[in-house]
Structure 1
Amino acid sequence: MTRRLGVSIYPEHSTVEKDIAYLTLASTHGFDRVFTCLLSVNKPKEEIVAEFTEIITHAKQLGMEVILDVAPAVFDQLEISYDDLSFFAELGADGVRLDVGFDGLKEAQMTYNKYNLKIELNMSNDVDYLDNILTFNANKGNLLGCHNFYPQRYTGLPYDFFIRCSERFRKHGIRTAAFVTASDAPLGPWSINDGLCTLEEHRTLPVDVQAKHLWATGLIDDVIIGNAYASEEELRLLGSLQRDMIELKVTFTEETTELEKTVTLDEVHLRRGDISAYMIRSVAVRKKYAKEDFPERESKAQVKGDIFIGNNTFGKYKGELQVVLQEMPLDERKNLIATVDEQEHFLIDYIAPWGTFRLREK
């Protein structure tokens, strides 16, 4: 599936003008999903409908998909029903997110709604929820999965639990989504906002590292910024990411040559299939650059995150690029050229045998 980026908006805590401007900006950076929700009915229904319709219409003009999350308590007050999705269709939404589930049969029936709206399920439960829905012959083409976000610090999902929940959807080929948090974006659904991420370990990480991690698991298709409004720099950074392979930020040493930078940055690297526990070996580059000059220079002991290239003294291994996985002694046949950003060291472990990856200057 094509991996996508999304943003969240909270119209009841902002203005139509700000939301429209944010969606326009996000769209220019490659975002094409929108998460939004109705939180309360403090305004007249007609006013709420007018505001949401204007915002959703603008999003659709930008080519963005809009999924609307509505709290069950709001349904009676707005006089709408899960059995009749016309309200959401008239707003222009592409789908409805069910934060709270039913008995399986109702969700399955909803996937055949006459408006062809997507039904997005809550992924953050390690139970047979999806399997139960599918036993009622649900229309899989109209099913989506999306994790929760967790505004309170220390309440986000632990990694192993997240993996188990996500695998339940991946095995059925259902499109999946999860949330990351922008560094300084105060808007969310509630007054508490310690960041709106799915995984607790993401709460203090840069937003691009969070996104890279979700994609590196191979279990998440769409990455959505949970809080609003992310800065333009964060939107730009996410929009520029490689979505289909791991890309690591690196810092070059002062001694690194232009040729070594070219080998590092201009190539799509492929980890050798018969792997080493000590290093990731990109061997195809040594063949391409076999006739080039890699002068020997003073080296150092090898530690995780270091990147080396074989120098002229390394025989057939000259030009081979290696990313260190665990500590090794000094090897003067290799030149230290760069170091992976420390916050991304854990992503190195996701580069599998025969896995492709890229390196990008920080």
Structure 2
Amino acid sequence: MRRLGLSIYPNHSTIERDKQYIELGAKYGFSRLFTCLLSVDGDKEQIMHSFKETISFAKQCGMEVIADISPRIFKELNISYDDLSFFADLGTDGIRLDMGFTGREEAQMTYNPYDLTIELNMSNATKYIDNILAHKPNLDKLIGSHNFYPHRYSGLSYSFFEECSLKFKNANMRTAAFISSNDATFGPWPIMEGQPSLEEHRDLPIDVQAKHLFATGLIDDVIIGNAYASESELKKLSEINRNKLTFSIEVEEETTDLERTILFNEPHFYRGDVSDYLIRSTQSRVKYKAHNFPSHTTRDIRRGDVLIENNGYGQYKGELQIALKDMKNSGNTNVVGRIREEEIRLLEFLNPWQVFALSEM
């Protein structure tokens, strides 16, 4: 099951404010919580006091809690990789290794007696994961997540993201990546220019970022990296279909009621005999072959336009299409809507025979 997650940074906030955010997230179906021990200073007792109450509350709200750490934190807190009792006492469900060990240690950690999940840093293209797998870890307790990047222009390129993610998906491991709230104001570090994994997401609407990650098929869990996202952002994310690619469209004014029924109430799949120009969903032309599709809005076609063939196309009338290229309009095609500009790139992730849906902006 694909999940949504939040991030909190207790050393930059208050217990009460974090609880309010966690409760709001739980209301909208968020079930993962990321927190960070990398920027924490102080002894074990202070850290336990700051984090434990909030983590306990998150678990009461049904959230899985993962804490980000590094070998430096192990050393500073006098923790050994073969004794993870500190994190069990803290109440976490697992730890994320921002920087790894040699491979043997990570594998050994997956057999810890506290049933803690070990999450690996996915944002590297080395043989790191291969080395860990060679040491025969408990794969049921091993997952991965990408880094986030508060500094503008420092985020991952899509090609690098894809290369790294495939290493983990090919090993059948659960994966996660971060998106960025446009309303949040802080993270673990002083610099805050958004906090996504992918650089191209930095200024996009939050729901488009999530749709993109899910559409790649490479990411199982999407986590908001910065705090605090607004309630409207949480609501938008909760309404995303995490398993069916759904394009938000703006409907043309002259679109008929029947065409709206085809757009939003009929099932759609990408017909398998592929065209360079069109994604074709053809079942509506069969169901509505006896209906009238008068001509309207027959301007020339742009990539991202949503189309329904009118009476002029004979047996094709009623067929729904999405334009992949700019084209001349013969007058036999009604332009009934247009995909939200930020989502047009998602057409690259729709494959032949794949089911998809449309929703009105």
What is the aligned partner in structure 2 of residue 266 from structure 1?
A: 265
What is the aligned partner in structure 1 of residue 11 from structure 2?
A: 12
Contact 1:7 1:34 in 2 (8 A): yes
1:122-170 CA distance string (max 9 Å, x none): 0000011111111111111100000000111111111111100000000
- In structure 2, what residue type is equivalent to 1:325? L
What is the aligned partner in structure 1 of residue 202 from structure 2?
A: 203
Query: Which stretch shifts more, 228-237 or 67-76?
Result: 67-76
Secondary structure of the structure 2 residue equivalent to 1:79: coil
What is the aligned partner in structure 2 of residue 235 from structure 1?
A: 234
Name the CA distance, whole Å, in 2 between partners of 1:227 and 1:130: 27
TM-score by length of 1: 0.97
Superposed, 1:317-336 pairs within 5 Å as 317-336=316-335
Runs of 4+ in 1 over 3 A off after TM superposition: 39-45
- In structure 2, what residue type is equivalent to 1:139? N
Name the CA distance, whole Å, in 2 between partners of 1:340 and 1:41: 44
Name the CA distance, whole Å, in 1 between partners of 2:319 and 2:25: 39
Contact 1:300 1:331 in 2 (8 A): no
Secondary structure of the structure 2 residue equivalent to 1:90: helix
What is the aligned partner in structure 2 of residue 173 from structure 1?
A: 172
What is the aligned partner in structure 1 of residue 96 from structure 2?
A: 97
User: Are 2:82 and 1:83 aligned?
Assistant: yes
Query: Which stretch shifts more, 322-331 or 44-53?
Result: 44-53
Name the CA distance, whole Å, in 2 between partners of 1:40 and 1:160: 30
Secondary structure of the structure 2 residue equivalent to 1:134: helix
Unaligned runs of 5+ in 2: none
What is the aligned partner in structure 2 of residue 189 from structure 1?
A: 188
Name the CA distance, whole Å, in 1 between partners of 2:179 and 2:226: 8
Matched length: 361
Quote how far apart the aligned CAs of 1:69 are: 0.8
Contact 1:40 1:74 in 2 (8 A): no
Secondary structure of the structure 1 residue equivalent to 2:253: coil
Q: CA RMSD in A?
A: 1.3
- In structure 1, what residue type is equivalent to 2:294? P
What is the aligned partner in structure 2 of residue 151 from structure 1?
A: 150
Contact 2:297 2:336 in 1 (8 A): no
Contact 2:43 2:77 in 1 (8 A): no
Q: Judging changes above 3 Å, is the alpha-carbon distance between structure 1 residues 40 and 181 closer, same or farther for their aligned structure 2 residues? A: closer
- In structure 2, what residue type is equivalent to 1:35? F
User: Are 2:7 and 1:25 aligned?
Assistant: no
Query: Which stretch shifts more, 126-135 or 69-78?
Result: 69-78
Quote how far apart the aligned CAs of 1:63 are: 1.1
User: Are 2:49 and 1:57 aligned?
Assistant: no
Name the CA distance, whole Å, in 2 between partners of 1:46 and 1:102: 26
Secondary structure of the structure 2 residue equivalent to 1:349: helix
- In structure 2, what residue type is equivalent to 1:93? T
What is the aligned partner in structure 1 of residue 219 from structure 2?
A: 220
Q: Judging changes above 3 Å, is the alpha-carbon distance between structure 1 residues 123 and 40 closer, same or farther for their aligned structure 2 residues? A: closer
- In structure 2, what residue type is equivalent to 1:107? E
Quote how far apart the aligned CAs of 1:297 are: 2.3
Name the CA distance, whole Å, in 2 between partners of 1:53 and 1:268: 47
TM-score by length of 2: 0.97
Contact 2:168 2:175 in 1 (8 A): yes
Query: Which stretch shifts more, 48-57 or 334-343?
Result: 48-57
Name the CA distance, whole Å, in 1 between partners of 2:40 and 2:155: 28
Contact 1:34 1:66 in 2 (8 A): yes
Percent identical pairs in the alignment equals: 54
What is the aligned partner in structure 2 of residue 248 from structure 1?
A: 247
What is the aligned partner in structure 2 of residue 34 from structure 1?
A: 33
Contact 2:39 2:188 in 1 (8 A): no
What is the aligned partner in structure 1 of residue 141 from structure 2?
A: 142
Name the CA distance, whole Å, in 2 between partners of 1:165 and 1:43: 34
What is the aligned partner in structure 2 of residue 289 from structure 1?
A: 288
Name the CA distance, whole Å, in 2 between partners of 1:188 and 1:353: 40
- In structure 2, what residue type is equivalent to 1:195? G
What is the aligned partner in structure 1 of residue 314 from structure 2?
A: 315
What is the aligned partner in structure 2 of residue 72 from structure 1?
A: 71
What is the aligned partner in structure 2 of residue 345 from structure 1?
A: 344
Q: Judging changes above 3 Å, is the alpha-carbon distance between structure 1 residues 283 and 86 closer, same or farther for their aligned structure 2 residues? A: same
Contact 1:156 1:199 in 2 (8 A): yes
Quote how far apart the aligned CAs of 1:88 are: 0.8
What is the aligned partner in structure 2 of residue 106 from structure 1?
A: 105
Contact 2:4 2:222 in 1 (8 A): yes
- In structure 2, what residue type is equivalent to 1:282? S
Query: Which stretch shifts more, 155-164 or 39-48?
Result: 39-48
